[in-house]
Structure 1
């Protein structure tokens, strides 16, 4: 009788273990299916409609993807589930690239690219404000401007040189203000040297650019 009870207990324990194991696998399967369903549901929405909430979509995706990958360990023969996860991941990455293209800022115009090169990214916009230039940094601003022009003088068009002249005059105007705000005599001297370097470089190269354009126009 005792042996029967022991055998029954072992059988019950084994059944319980099997039941727990099956339940764990079923839960893992549901987690993976939920991940696949989420990816499909996201892909069914127009990328344009997700722009404003994309950070939340990504956070939710990352959470579900992590859970799905962990769930694989609870499935004994998980080749099929692994394939499902990889397929959904590929789908999501393709869709993510589509959204990223929409979220990317528009490319800067040639004029803005020139301004960025001469002064730094976004320093000079359409308002042409030089309020960020002060007695402490104006020498380095002139330095970057003149050296950038010198390094690229052979590639500028006539329109580029006209823009460069406009920006140079605006910087000079700012210098007149900065001189009254504590510009050191040493920096003033260095700026004067840069201005002497810039003037003939501008004159010669703008004339050259115009001449090249006239030649091209005649062809």
Structure 2
């Protein structure tokens, strides 16, 4: 009897222990799933949430720009970097749903992008003015942030966002062209060439409206580039011509030319006198 009771007793203990372990394991798995589910829910936005967030940010930027520049702030370098990062985050969040937009929302989305470009161009102009007059004891600060001209991101552009890439590019050139160095222009030209190559690769996927807007952006860029470089070249050529003129007027060539002119004049005068004498003698 004792032997039988001992066996039964331990069998019950083992069974209870096994049941407890199984229950704890199941609870652990359930908790893990619930935790993972909660994390996913809190970090992922729906299409409507992402769109509203993007729309509100663009509207807020317009309001800030229209309110004018806060000249009392001294951390504008950080503010500009944060503003650009915040926009890119919101743009990437909503752009993943762009292919699912209906015609009405797509039209509004395109308008929001255009509004952002306009507001951001104005903000960059305000920023550049502030740098020139409020940094380094009033000395002009002409160094341009060229981080947006990173060619590494070009292969990631698709038919849904390459138009925006063109518009952002043109906005950057328009805001900073007066401060570009020769190296900056080289970076701009390189970025432009690769951006155009990417556009050509996905040309068949673009809508007619996107093609039209990209053409407008390209025309605007070419005009700005020609104007900036022609202006610089004309100034340089003008100086060279002026200096060349000085060199000629002060050189032996100039004196020789002057002497040659006098000699021709004297020769013509003498010839005229001889002809006059001949005519007089004939009379």
- Do they superpose with TM above 0.5? no
Into which bin does the TM-score normalised by the smaller protein fall?
0.3 to 0.5
- TM-score, with structure 1 as normaliser: 0.40
Bigger relative CO (Cα 8 Å, ≥ 6 apart)? 1
Bigger Rg, which one:
2
- TM-score, with structure 2 as normaliser: 0.32
